[in-house]
Amino acid sequence: MSTGSPAREDNSLLEAIPDGNGPAAFGTLGIAPEDALLLEHHSLTLRDTRVVIADRRKRSKKRDATCCGFKGDSGSPTNTTIALHNVLWARVYIGEDNSAIKITHAKELGKRLVKPETISIPIDEADLEKADLWVERLLEQAYKGSQQAKRFKVLINPHGGPGTAEKIYRSEIEPIFTAASCSVDVEMTQYAKHAVKIAQELDIEAYDAVICVSGDGVPHEVFNGLGKRPDALKALNKIAVCQLPGGSGNGMCWSFTGTDAPSLAAVALVKGKRTHFDLVSVTQGDERILSFLSQSVGMTAELDLGTENMRWMGNTRFTVGFLQRVITEKIYPAEVHVKLAIDNKEEIRRNASVMHDLPSLDHSDEDVGLPPLRYGSVKDEVPEDWVLESHPKMGNFYCGNMICMSKDIHFFPAAKPNDGHMDLAIMDGDVGRVKAVGVMLGAETGKHFDIPELNYRKVLAYRFTPKNQKNGYISIDGEKAAFAPFQAEIHHGLGMSLSLRPNVYEGPTLA
């Protein structure tokens, strides 16, 4: 993910403004009057994706290098440029002896680390009113299309991944939330499925988003908790469910923010725009489970669930687990009934940049539970127009809703947050080790999509029935399900999250 450039020096604007400049100078540069603020010693301008702070004083021979957070060298005053994406907050400070505009931004300290830093620009009393207006304008532009000062319910799984979620939160995430004036209510999950209860009982008017500092297991629980409420439809629409990296998979965080660097992902959520995304109902026995990420059987499910003993490795456990399994070329025979949407790769590629209209879901104030199942449950007859497929040599059954499943695994490059389709990828187990490794490596860039042995389709629903096996792994969002037939169907735009761009996941795409 690009966070835009951090604060940096930029002489271009300063060069362009004549000495003794006035508002007219900005006009000649194509800067709207409301985007510019001329102070006695500084000019502040909003330009496309950045804010430029220039020292207007005549070039002095020597200036304090740290004055107001600006660098200066003798004889050449410099500008400071901050990407609007990195502007976390701004305000007018009024002190007894001095007043200032304070701009807090995410300052880049390394490729994977930003920390809040505040720049102060002194202002005279006479400029207070116009400074207020400009600060308001800056915040509007820095949060374009996104809500300012979001209210977060933060859930931390102390056992997620290598067990460092709380430490990561306190050191890298919380400072960003605080600097961005977000209100946070932090709760540690105390036991497995605790997040289901928390979401079920959540005061949905008190928060804008639930932020899970965890793996993908906690957001799975939050969606299911919201889905159990009598007002499920409204709750799923009102509360954006998001993930920040505190586990080993972090597929949701990667898909929506394009990174698993905690502070960068935190900035992405602070700036995130509300985005509807598709959820899936999975029925198995008498149960109905909401799935937001994936369902898998075979190789992928074994990686998710059969590598628990390697949890200490963090994300590496998936690669090691894959290499161990690919050698055996194991098969998992199954029957799959499919309700197809798009059944060939060419059309999927052509369709990749098409925007899909959201259906009008009823989010009224009345208590409305989950939408009814369009195709019935796994216990009903399979609808007549579903295609029956026999897969006696299935090696991997993988159905996904998001582009990225974990670091460098962009398994579903055709996935969109709300296209109303699931992406179904099936591959036989006897395609050979070279092909299997090719798919794994290709998933880093999405190139595996074109490997002919990978059967990749868009579907609306399916039923999976294992054949000739007593035991095995079925993974739903990385959580273990019973090894028994299950059925899945998509709900277009039922869920809500925060994303950097509308209806696009971050990562390599087909378009």
* Residue 417 identity (one-letter amino acid): P
Nearer to ligand ATP, 77 or 400 (CB): 400
Question: Is 216 one of the catalytic residues?
Answer: yes
Min separation Cβ 197 and ligand ATP, Å: 11
Burial of 381 (0-12, 13-18, 19+ CB in 10 A): exposed
User: For binding to ligand ATP (CB under 6 A), which residues are involved?
Assistant: 157-161, 189-194, 214-218, 221, 247-249, 478-479
Q: Residue 314 Cβ, how far from ligand ATP at the closest point, in Å?
A: 9
Residue closer to ligand ATP (CB basis): 166 or 343: 166
**Residue 81: phi, psi to the nearest 5?**
-115, 130
Sign of CA dihedral 465, 466, 471, 473: negative
What gap in Å lies between CA 489 and CA 483, rounded to an integer? Answer: 19
Residue 448 Cβ vs ligand ATP, minimum distance, rounded to whole Å: 21
Per the CB < 8 A criterion, the answer to whether 28 and 36 are in contact is: no
Query: Which residue type is seen at 333?
Result: P
Per DSSP, the residues of 177-225 read: HHHTT-EEEEEE--STTHHHHHHHH--TTT-SEEEEEESSHHHHHHHHH
**Which residues have CB under 8 Å from 187's CB, separation 6+?**
153, 154, 155, 156, 198
Work out how close the CB of 190 gets to ligand ATP at its nearest, in angstroms, rounded to a whole number. 5
- Nearest to ligand ATP by Cβ — which residue? 215
Smallest gap, in angstroms, from Cβ of residue 162 to ligand ATP?
Answer: 8
For ligand ATP, the closer CB: 154 or 394:
154
Contacts of 18 (CB under 8 A, 6+ apart): 25
End-to-end Cα distance, the chain: 18
* Catalytic residue (one of 10, 35, 216, 428): 216
Nearer to ligand ATP, 218 or 498 (CB): 218
Residues 4 and 331: their CA atoms lie apart, in Å, by: 46
- Return phi, psi of residue 347, to 5°: -70, -35
Q: Which is nearer to ligand ATP, 478 or 495 (CB)?
A: 478
Active-site residue list: 216
